Amino acid sequence: MDTAVADLLIEGLWLMVIGLGIVFTFLMALVGLLVLMSKAVARWGPEDVLPATTVAAHAVAPAPPADAERLVAVVGAAIQAYRRRQRP
């Protein structure tokens, strides 16, 4: 191998290592700053206020639809039609 080519390869490897090191350092600094900001907001930020709910709103179950039997019949008919079409 020619010495000029070897020198260029070594210089390229050094540039790659330096570039990757700079990018890695920048990303680690960014992650560190984000963690610090998250901790600062959790400590000094405003408290989350949950909306007040009444017990009556959760105690009553929703009423079933008036034509639930008709809906069951329609869904059953659709399933049967689908199965008939899928059989060879």
- Report the pLDDT value the prediction gives residue 5, as an integer from 0 to 100: 92
Distance separating alpha carbons of residues 1 and 7, to the nearest angstrom: 10
Distance separating alpha carbons of residues 32 and 38, to the nearest angstrom: 10
- Report the pLDDT value the prediction gives residue 58, as an integer from 0 to 100: 59
- Report the pLDDT value the prediction gives residue 48, as an integer from 0 to 100: 77
CA distances for 68 relative to 20, 72, 74, 86, angstroms: 64, 6, 10, 27
DSSP state of 60: S
Residue type, 67: D
Inter-residue contact 54 to 60 (CB < 8 Å): no
Distance separating alpha carbons of residues 67 and 71, to the nearest angstrom: 6
- Report the pLDDT value the prediction gives residue 65, as an integer from 0 to 100: 65
Helix (H) or strand (E) holding 68: helix 68-86
pTM greater than 0.75: no
Can you give the pLDDT of all 88 residues of the chain as single tens digits? 788 999 999 999 999 999 999 999 999 999 999 999 999 998 888 887 777 766 655 565 666 666 788 888 899 999 999 999 987 6
